[in-house]
Amino acid sequence: MDKREEEEDTEEAWLQLQPVEPLPSQCCGSGCSPCVFDLYHQDLARWEVARASNDRSLLSGKQSQSCPSSLSPESFLAFSITAVDKLTKDTYRVQFALPGNSRLGLQPGQHLVLRGIVEDLEIQRAYTPISPANAEGYFEVLIKCYQTGLMSRYVESWRAGDTAFWRGPFGGFFYKPNQYGELLMLASGTGLAPMVPILQSITDNADDETFVTLVCCFKTFDSIYLKTFLQEQARFWNVRTVFVLSQESSLEQLPWSYREKTHLGRLGLDLIEEVVRCCRRKPFALVCGSPEFTRDMAKCLLCVGLAEDSYFLF
C-alpha cells in the first residue's frame, strides 16, 4: 500500500468516527442543559481536535452512552421496568428499579429525558418522576400517550422486565422548605407530575409549614390521576386541593367529597382571582401543562398582581 492509499484509509477511518448530528426528533424541547445538540457540538469539537492531532486517544473522554456508571445529564443509563399500571385510557404510571436501596438523586420537580427508538428513528422526551425524592430502590413516572405520538408507541410496548434509557437530572426550580409562605400549584393533565414530589416533600417534613393550594385541571372526573394520593394530601392542615373539570356537565354526578372543591369549565382569570384571594399567605405560583395552558396561566397571574419573579413555569 502506497502513502496515498494509507492517507485515504486514515481519512476514511476518521470520518467513520465523526459524531453524527442529532435529528430534530432527538431533542425533547424542554430546554435541557446540556441538550442533545450541546452534546453533539462537544463531541464534534473533541473529534476535530483528535483528528488534527491524529491521536485517537483524545476521543476517550467521551463516555459510552450504553453503559455509564451513574445517572448523568450527558449519558443515558439503563433502568429495568418493574411495573406498568394503566391509570386511564391513555395514561400510565411506570415504575423503574434502582440498584439496592439507592435513590435516584433528583430534587423534587426535576425531570429526566427518556430515549426511545421507533422505526429506526431516535426520539427523546422529558418526564418528571412522581415518586418521592427520598424513594429507595425505585422511581415512578407518569406518561400520557397520544394516538399519533412516536414516543407513545414506544411506551405502550413496555412490559415489566423491559429496559428503558434515561439521562438527567434537569430543571431550574429547586424547592427549599419554608422558602415561600404559600405555593399555588396550577397543573393541567400530566402537568400534575412535578407538583407531586414537591407537595409530598412538604407534607413529609413536619418542620415545613408552607401552605399549598393545588389546582388540578382535567377533562372529566374519571380522567383525574392519582385520586387516592390527592385525597390523602388534602387531609393535611396546610394543603387545599381544587379541581377544574372542563367536560363535566353537573357537580351532582361527582362523589360528595369532590363537589365543594370542584369547578366546571376551564381555569380562567375569574377563578384564578378567587383562588389567589383565598390563599392564606402571599403565594408563589408553579405552573405546568400544555404550552397554551402555561401561557394563559402566566397572563392570568400577571393580571391578578403576581410579578414575573413570583411564579415558575415548568
Most confident stretch, 67-71, 101-105, 265-269, 277-281? 265-269
Residues 209 and 279 in one domain: yes
CA distance 301 to 307: 8
176 belongs to an annotated ligand binding site: no
Q: The domain that contains 134 carries what CATH number?
A: 2.40.30.10
Residues 93 and 147 in one domain: yes
Residues 100 and 160 in one domain: yes
Question: Are 286 and 198 contacting, i.e. CB atoms less than 8 angstroms apart?
Answer: yes
280 belongs to an annotated ligand binding site: no
CA distance 267 to 269: 7
Say what the pLDDT of residue 137 is: 94
185 belongs to an annotated ligand binding site: no
Give the pLDDT confidence of 285-313 residue by residue, as tens digits. Answer: 999 999 999 999 999 999 999 999 999 99
Check residues 11 and 246 and name the one with the higher pLDDT: 246
Residues 256 and 229 in one domain: yes
The verdict on residue 228 lying in a domain is yes
Say what the pLDDT of residue 286 is: 98
103 belongs to an annotated ligand binding site: no
Say what the pLDDT of residue 30 is: 63
What mean pLDDT value characterizes the chain?
Answer: 87
Residues 193 and 266 in one domain: yes
Q: How confident is the model at residue 168 (pLDDT cuts 50, 70, 90)?
A: very high
4 class by beta-carbon count within 10 Å (0-12 exposed, 13-18 middle, 19+ buried): exposed
**Predicted model pTM:** 0.79
CA distance 26 to 20: 12
Number of structural domains found in the chain: 2
Give the pLDDT confidence of 235-280 residue by residue, as tens digits. Answer: 999 999 999 999 999 999 999 999 999 999 999 999 999 999 999 9
127 belongs to an annotated ligand binding site: yes
The verdict on residue 144 lying in a domain is yes
Range of the domain at 85: 77-170
The residue out of 170, 191, 212 marking a domain boundary is 170
The residue out of 143, 170, 197 marking a domain boundary is 170
Q: How confident is the model at residue 54 (pLDDT cuts 50, 70, 90)?
A: confident
Give the pLDDT confidence of 173-223 residue by residue, as tens digits. Answer: 999 999 999 999 999 999 999 999 999 999 999 999 999 999 999 999 999
Residues 189 and 136 in one domain: no
Q: The domain that contains 209 carries what CATH number?
A: 3.40.50.80
Residues 186 and 166 in one domain: no
CA distance 191 to 295: 13
The verdict on residue 55 lying in a domain is no
167 class by beta-carbon count within 10 Å (0-12 exposed, 13-18 middle, 19+ buried): buried
Instruction: Judge whether residue 61 has pLDDT over 60.
Output: no
The residue out of 124, 144, 170 marking a domain boundary is 170
- Residue that the C-alpha cell 459524531 belongs to: 19
152 belongs to an annotated ligand binding site: yes
Instruction: Judge whether residue 39 has pLDDT over 90.
Output: no
| Sign (positive or negative) of CA dihedral 86, 91, 93, 96 | positive
